[in-house]
Amino acid sequence: MLKGRTAFVTGGSGAVGAAVVRCMAGHGARVAFSYHSQPEKALALQEELCAGGFDVRAYPLDVLNGAQAQHLAATIEQDLGPVDILVNNAGLTQVMPFALIEEEDWDLMMNVNVKGMFLVTKAFVRPMIRRQRGAIVNLGSLAGVRVLEVPVHYATAKSAVMGFTLSLAREMARYQIRVNAVVPGLLTDGVSEHVPDKQRIDYEQHCTLGRAGTPAEVAELVAFLASDRAAYINAQAIQVDGGL
* 177-200 average pLDDT score: 89
User: Using 50, 70 and 90 to split pLDDT, how confident is the model at 165?
Assistant: very high
User: Using 50, 70 and 90 to split pLDDT, how confident is the model at 198?
Assistant: confident
Domains in the chain with CATH codes: 6-240 (3.40.50.720)
Identify the active-site residue in 59, 154, 203, 232. 154
pLDDT in tens, 57-91: 999 999 999 999 999 999 999 999 999 999 999 99
> Residue 149: phi, psi to the nearest 5?
-85, 85
User: Using 50, 70 and 90 to split pLDDT, how confident is the model at 146?
Assistant: confident
Is 175 known to be catalytic? Answer: no
What's the whole-model pTM score?
Answer: 0.96
The burial class, CB within 10 Å (0-12 / 13-18 / 19+), for 175 is middle
> Residue 243: phi, psi to the nearest 5?
85, 65
* 110-130 average pLDDT score: 98
